[in-house]
Each structure stands twice: as C-alpha cells, then as structure tokens.
Amino acid sequence: MSLNRRDFLKLTGLVASSAALASCSPSIFQRVAGASPLSAWTPLPGADFLALGRLTFGPRPEERAYFVQHGLQAWVEEQLAYEAIDDFFCDLRLKPFDTLRMRAHELADLSDKIFDDLDRQTVPNELRHATLLRQVYSRRQLFEVMTEFWSDHFNIATDKGNCFYLKTVDDREVIRKHALGSFRDLLWASAHSPAMLVYLDNQVNVKGAPNENYARELMELHSLGVHGGYSQQDVMELARALTGWTVKEHFWTGDFSFDDGQHDTGEKYVLGMRIPANGQAEAESVVEALAQHPSTAQFIAAKLARRFLADPSPAEIVRRAADAFTRTHGDIRAVLRVVLLDGLPLAQPRYKRPVHFVVSALRMLGADTDAGPAVQNYLMRMGQLAFNWPTPDGYPDRDAAWQGNLMPRWQFAFALVRGELENTNLDLPGLRDISGAHDLPGVISALASLLLGAPLPPTQRDEWIASVRAAGADEDETLAVLTGGILASPAFQWR
C-alpha cells in the first residue's frame, strides 16, 4: 500500500506548508551557546525533511541546519566522499569492540571455549551492537544507509553454521568495503566471502552432485533478478562451475579456499556462454559477466530507487540509473547520483522499517544510547534485528510488510521518553529549554517540528495536550507522554 503525499498529510493532520513553518518563532531555532550536546533545530521545507529522511537514519538538528545551508547536491557529494568525513566520536564508541577488527581464524579461536560449548553469541552480538551504534552516531549517514541496503541485498543470517563469526568478516571486507564503491567489486567480494559460501551452502558444493543453492541466489537475488533471463539449466551449470569454492577448516580457518579436488573440470554453459575448464576462474568469469549484465543494471537500479524514492520505483529514474550503472561499469556512486539528485524530487512517503524508526527517534531527539540489549530487544520484537533475517532475500522493503506491528513501536516510544530503556537516556528538560518556547504548547509544537518536519496545527496540539491532562498528567508527564505520542503517531512511522 502506498500513500500519495496528500493522503500522507491528511493522515497526520499536518500542514507542511512553508507558511506554517515561517510562522514559528525564530527564537525556537536559535542555537544555544554552551557545551550542551543538544542543538536547536531550524525549520525545514517538507521536501528537505523528506530528502533527509532518505539520506540519513533520521536527521540530527545540526544535520538539518547543514543541509539547509549547503543544499542537496553538496550534501550528497560530501556524503559520497565518506572517507573524508571525520567520524572520530563514532570510532571512539566502537573502540571496545575488538572482534570488528579480527580475522576469521582469530574469531574462530575466540569463540571456541574448548571445554564448554562454542560461544555463538559474543561475536554476532558485538556486530549488531556496533552496527546500531554506527547507524546512530556515524556522521557518514549515507554510507550507513547503503551499508544496510547491501546487508539486505547480500543477506546473511548469523545463526547458519559458522556465519556467527564469519559475518563479521563479511561485514567489514565485503559490505562496508564496497558499499559506495563498484558493484562489480562488491559482487566479486561477496562471491569469495566465506560467510556467503557457508550461508548458501556452497562450501559443500562438490563435483558429481552439485549444490544449487548459492548459484541460484547469485543470479536471482544478487545480480540478474528473478526475471533477469536465466534458466534452471543456467543454475545447474553455474553450480557446477562453483564446485570446489569452499572455506578453510584448518590453518587460516574461515578463509576462502578453492578445492581443486572437488571441482568439476568439465565444460559448462552459463547464460549462453561457453565456459572452458579453468578451475576457479570459471565461476569468476561468470561473476564478471553478471556484474556487467543489463538485467543486473536494471535490477540494482530499481531496488535502489525503491529504497530511496518510492514503491513502486519511478520508471524514468530507474531507466536513467540503470544507464549510469552500465556506462560506469557499476559505479555505485554514479548510480546514486541519479537516484538522489534526479530522483528525490519525485520521492513518495515510505513506511519506516523498524531500524529506521528506532534510530530516527534516537538521533532526532539526541538521545544517548549504548545501542545495547534494551534497544536490540525492541528491534527483535519489531522484526528487524540485524543479521537475523533467515532467508537470503533480506528484510522486506515493501511498506505493507511492516505496517501491521504497531505495538512494539508504541512500547519503544513510551519506554524511551519515560527513561525505561537501560543505558539509553533522553534529556527532555534540555530539549524543552533548547526549543526556545515559553510554554508547553510551544514546546510540543517545536518537538513536532523536529520529529515530523512541521509543527502541529494548534487545534490538534491543544487537543493532544488536553487528552493527556484529562488523564491526570502534570506538566513534566505531559511533555514526556506527548513526546512519546509524537514518536508513536502515524506520521512518525513514515519517512
């Protein structure tokens, strides 16, 4: 189900006109001097608020200000050159997570408790933890958004075999390494990724009786798409070419390995190409061909446009993005420039997936969080714990898939404002002070502007306040429960 923009506004009762925004007291948005971690927020035209909701996991007040000052194009270019963005404070928070930097055999050793059962929790939990910290704190927001996108595209569930520790390597060496690089390199790295080979059973794909699992998903999900023009015969032939692609079990445990002895040396035909016997290079030549295939360009372009713009994705933008993909041999930045710079004006509201819902609440309100079990538990109940989607298609990107599970979102919203999340803190008095408003209605309006992009119409705002007052809330409770109410509201479920 997709909403058009007018329905979206009707749904929320918001009037996101620039006139309404302009009527806000300028003092609300004045930056407060001093060492407060919070900063004031500026009014934002609806289109900018919507764009920022795609380029980030929910904009922090200072990001809003920066966006207004520099504009979409400069913002996108700066974010695409992510290596140049100083991320010191985020890196600092990641410091304790040693496993993020370890090689596969070190992670295997760490997990092997010798006298006890294998520890299958520590390593993947650190990865989940770090992932959420980065989503909340990294200033390289577009990079994090794309990291999540590719983590779905090349989905790996950590509870499959040794993926519990191999995914950490895949996350570092495949997804994050190439998230804004070349799709060809990304596909190539994923194909050689031990976590992927284990997840899709290629580590046991041997000559004589091949295992088709990875071969199929490599074409169906990772490159061509289910309508991309491959056949069951192609799946079987590619599976033969991939025989012997496996993972080391001794010495450098968990590294990629090509087992000559298990490789089917016969000739193969994949997608109309004759693949002469050539060991590991056979499947590599297919990976090259898949990365260059027009169906792949189309599939990736459409998927990106859907994630960033609208579902269904706008056909003309997809066509141009696919052209850019082909012209640049899969330069992800070039494709994103088309999707974002040309496409964002066409963007339609999209329902926030749970990670976006949670992270946007934390970021926009400037909450301090350890991204630990309290928050992770809510993500699990909302249905989007990282690296926990069992099937290789990744977490769904259809709005309708997520719309029927409001309860844990409401619970999270109120737990956050009521200070019930362990090691996650919200400075509501600080937000009230920084809003610059002199009374409760003013603060609520300012918070709505922060969280929903526009202040609430006064009649609606007063109705909300009255309803909470009627339930016996004092001034502080009213502020808390209404902030929770804004987070729980239909409008905040959309980005």
Where do contacts with other proteins occur on this chain (CB under 8 A)? 11, 200-201, 204-213, 216, 220-221, 226, 232, 235-236, 381-383, 390-391, 393, 396, 400-408, 410-411, 414-415, 418, 420, 463-464, 467-468, 470-473, 477, 481-482, 484-485, 488-490
Beta-sheet pairing, 245-247 with 256-258: antiparallel
Q: How far is the CB of 29 from other proteins (least distance, A)?
A: 25
Give the nearer residue to other proteins in terms of CB position, either 65 or 415. 415
Give the nearer residue to other proteins in terms of CB position, either 11 or 289. 11
Give the nearer residue to other proteins in terms of CB position, either 376 or 489. 489
Give the nearer residue to other proteins in terms of CB position, either 124 or 330. 124
Give the nearer residue to other proteins in terms of CB position, either 219 or 275. 219
Q: How far is the CB of 473 from other proteins (least distance, A)?
A: 5
Cβ(300)–Cβ(329) below 8 Å:
no
What angle, rounded to 10 degrees, do the helices at 141-153 and 46-55 form?
A: 60
Give the nearer residue to other proteins in terms of CB position, either 81 or 400. 400
Which residue has 């061509």 as its token pair? Answer: 224
Three-state secondary-structure class, residue 258: strand
Q: Name residues whose C-beta falls within 8 Å of residue 141's C-beta, 6 or more positions apart in sequence.
A: 55, 56, 57, 63, 79
Cα(111)–Cα(114) distance, rounded to whole angstroms? 9
Give the nearer residue to other proteins in terms of CB position, either 182 or 377. 377
Cα R_g (the chain), whole angstroms: 24
Q: How far is the CB of 216 from other proteins (least distance, A)?
A: 7
Q: How far is the CB of 329 from other proteins (least distance, A)?
A: 27
Give the nearer residue to other proteins in terms of CB position, either 90 or 215. 215
Q: How far is the CB of 212 from other proteins (least distance, A)?
A: 4
Q: Which of 205, 175, 204 is nearest to 190 (CA)?
A: 175
Cβ(86)–Cβ(139) below 8 Å:
yes
Q: How far is the CB of 468 from other proteins (least distance, A)?
A: 5
Question: In whole angstroms, how far apart are CA 417 and each of 116, 359, 423, 476, 495?
Answer: 41, 14, 13, 11, 20
Q: How far is the CB of 187 from other proteins (least distance, A)?
A: 19
Quick one: tokens of 469?
């007052």
Cβ(176)–Cβ(218) below 8 Å:
no
Cα(495)–Cα(487) distance, rounded to whole angstroms? 12
Beta-sheet pairing, 424-425 with 368-369: antiparallel
Q: How far is the CB of 467 from other proteins (least distance, A)?
A: 4
Q: Name residues whose C-beta falls within 8 Å of residue 360's C-beta, 6 or more positions apart in sequence.
A: 53, 57, 58, 352, 492, 495
Q: How far is the CB of 164 from other proteins (least distance, A)?
A: 16
Give the nearer residue to other proteins in terms of CB position, either 159 or 316. 159
Give the nearer residue to other proteins in terms of CB position, either 106 or 393. 393
Cα(184)–Cα(62) distance, rounded to whole angstroms? 35
Q: Tell me what percent of the chain is helix, strand and coil, each rounded to the nearest 5.
A: 60, 5, 35
DSSP 14-51: ----HHHHHTS-GGGGPPPPSS-S--------HHHHHH
Q: How far is the CB of 203 from other proteins (least distance, A)?
A: 8
Q: How far is the CB of 490 from other proteins (least distance, A)?
A: 5
Question: In whole angstroms, how far apart are CA 52 and each of 46, 295, 308, 344?
Answer: 10, 30, 11, 10
Give the nearer residue to other proteins in terms of CB position, either 118 or 407. 407
